[in-house]
Structure 1
Amino acid sequence: MKYEKIKDKLIPDADKRIKVQDGKVTDPMSEQVNGEWMVNPVALTKNNVFVVCPYCGMIHGHGLCGGAYAGTRTADCTNGIYSIDHVKA
């Protein structure tokens, strides 16, 4: 998903931290810990959470599971996984 499609739904501070260059999006808060990527939401809606994929540099949307968004998810672009962290207040 392109950044432009979610930029009006960004959570506070996401627009300041993420970078878009040559069509790729990066989030400096994403980090790899013991081989697993930890990512932070960049946007939330009533039904979806959106993150910057550390594998392909695109925005991925995931449905909320019982209203919760944190947890391990499979990246849409590969078999790689990442864990979505809670939004830090």
Structure 2
Amino acid sequence: MRSTRRIRELLQAYPTMPATVITERIGWERALTVLKDRVWELRPAYLPPGPASRTDYEPGELAQCDFCSRRSRSWLGRSRNAGRRSFRC
């Protein structure tokens, strides 16, 4: 359990530190896979939220909504504009 505490301390200071570096810093002498799995479980709690991960908006607040993209328009199939490469919404 001492190693888990030390891993948490390192992740708090450096959230993106690779597991191989953590291995060296804590003096891990057992299987690397075990430590990598543990770091994989712990790391999300120490990473900052992504800029695009916000899913709640206040009433009246503008939010991006991508309904018109190439992938979403693929259901149109081949039509009279089959040769066109750009789409308009």
Q: TM-score scaled by structure 1?
A: 0.22
**Counting strand residues as a fraction of each chain, which structure ranks higher?**
1
TM-score, structure 2 as length reference: 0.22
Structure number, greater radius of gyration = 2
Structure with more helix by fraction: 2
